[in-house]
Amino acid sequence: MNFYVMTLFPEMIMNGLSNSITGRAMQNGQIHLEAVNIRDYTLERHGQVDDYPYGGGAGMVMQAEPIYRTWEAIIKRIGKRPRVIYMTPQGRVFRQSMAEELAKEEDLLFLCGHYEGVDERIIEMIVTDQVSIGDYVLTGGELPAMVMIDCISRLVPGVLNNSASAELESFHENLLEYPQYTRPEEFMGKRVPEILLSGHHANIEAWRRQQSIQRTGERRPDLLEAYHASKQE
C-alpha cells in the first residue's frame, strides 16, 4: 500500500507514523509512506504558498498552483492517478467501513489544508474524496491524514501480527470489543472473571459476545441499532 501526502508539514506526518506498528510496516515494506512538501513546488519568490481570500475575511487561503504542481509531480513519477483525499471538516465522516473500502486501493494521495483552507478550484480539479474525522475543528489536515493512514495500514495484510485480530475488534459488525484481562489472576483484590480461566472455549466465546453487546448498548446505543439492523438481513 502506497500513501502519498501533500502537506506544508511533512515532518509531522513522517514523525507521527514512523513508530510502533506503522513504523514497522514501513520498515518491512508492507506500506510505503511519502510526505511531499507543497512549498517545494511554489513558483513564488519567497516560497509563498498562501494568500488573502478574495472578497475579504479572516485568515489565508492556500493557493491552487503549488498544490497542482505537487500533485502533477507525484502522478508523473508514479505513472498512476490515485484517489485524492482532501482532509476537511466539510467531508464525509471517516468510519471503519470507509477504511475497509480504501484499504483495497494500491495507492492513496492525501491533501492536507492549513489556515482557512485551499482554493476551491484545486478541489474541483484534483480531489476525488473529501473526508472529515469528526465534528470538531482542527488547525490542519495533517492529524486527520495520519489518523486515516494509521487506520488503513493496520488493515493491510501482514501489518498486524495476528490476522484474526482485525476482524474481532471494535466496530466490526458494529459492536464494541469485550473486556480483556492478563496476569495476574488477582490484582488489588480484583479477580479476573472466572469463566476466562475455565478453558471452556465455547462458553468464553458466548460470554465475550454477551459483553460486547451489553457494552455497545450502554456506551453506543446508536451502534447497537445498526447491529440489530444488520442481523435481520
Q: Which of 43, 58, 137, 164 binds ligand 6GU (CB under 6 A)?
A: 137
* Residue 134 found at the interface with ligand 6GU (CB under 6 A): yes
Shortest Å, Cβ 62 to ligand 6GU:
12
Taking the C-alpha atoms of residue 1 and residue 102, their distance in angstroms, rounded to an integer, is 10
Taking the C-alpha atoms of residue 177 and residue 133, their distance in angstroms, rounded to an integer, is 21
Q: Of the ranges 51-59, 85-93, 169-177, 200-208, which one interacts with ligand 6GU (CB under 6 A)? A: 85-93
Shortest Å, Cβ 49 to ligand 6GU:
16
* Residue 141 found at the interface with ligand 6GU (CB under 6 A): yes
Shortest Å, Cβ 102 to ligand 6GU:
14
* Residue 59 found at the interface with ligand 6GU (CB under 6 A): no
Cβ proximity to ligand 6GU, 25 vs 112, nearer residue: 112
First to last CA, the chain: 33
Let me know: does 21 contact 166? Beta carbons within 8 Å. Answer: no
Q: Which of 7, 88, 153, 174 binds ligand 6GU (CB under 6 A)?
A: 88
173-177 own/partner pairs: CB under 8 Å, 24+ apart: 173/227, 173/230, 174/216, 174/223, 174/224, 174/226, 174/227, 174/230, 175/212, 175/213, 175/216, 175/223, 175/224, 175/227, 176/212, 176/215, 176/216, 176/219, 176/220, 176/223, 177/212, 177/215
Cβ proximity to ligand 6GU, 135 vs 167, nearer residue: 135
Q: Which of 12, 103, 111, 133 binds ligand 6GU (CB under 6 A)?
A: 133
Cβ proximity to ligand 6GU, 1 vs 85, nearer residue: 85
- Radius of gyration from C-alpha coordinates of the chain: 22
* Residue 152 found at the interface with ligand 6GU (CB under 6 A): no
The single residue listed with the C-alpha cell 481570500 is 53
By CB under 6 A, name the binding residues for ligand 6GU. Answer: 87-89, 132-134, 136-138, 140-141, 144
